[in-house]
């Protein structure tokens, strides 16, 4: 189990960046452990946005992008 600390950075008119630093490494090539990003709206169930840290789920707009490795990951939402 790995827990994450999330930091949000906002650049009004440009992007929102969510940085997640996990308590232990959760992704490196071939280790079989992955980080996924979900969106949950009030009253709704979580919806998968990104899987394997940088792969958009079908239906996720291209303005969402993911990056990172090891224990540091970022989800960026552009055009906000």
Name the token pair of 20. Answer: 């997640």
pLDDT band, residue 52 (cuts 50/70/90): confident
How many structural domains is the chain composed of?
1
Higher pLDDT, 23 or 27: 23
Residue 47: per-residue pLDDT: 96
Q: pLDDT confidence of 32, banded at 50, 70, 90?
A: low
Residue from 32, 10, 8 nearest 79 by CA: 10
> Which has more pLDDT, 50 or 35?
50
Distance, in Å, from the CA atom of 10 to the CA atom of 16, rounded to the nearest integer, reads 5
**CATH for 51:** 2.60.40.10
- DSSP at 44: S
Distance CA 40, CA 32 (A): 25
Per-residue model confidence (pLDDT) at position 13: 85
Residue 60 has pLDDT above 90, yes or no: yes
Domain limits at 65? 4-78
């Amino acid at each position: 189990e790995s827990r994450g600390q999330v930091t949000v950075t906002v650049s009004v008119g440009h992007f929102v960046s969510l940085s997640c630093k996990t308590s232990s490494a959760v992704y490196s090539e071939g280790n079989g452990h992955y980080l996924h990003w979900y969106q949950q709206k009030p009253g709704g169930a979580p919806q998968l946005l990104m899987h394997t840290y940088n792969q958009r789920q079908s239906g996720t707009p291209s303005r969402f992008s993911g990056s990172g490795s090891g224990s540091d990951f970022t989800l960026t939402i552009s055009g906000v």
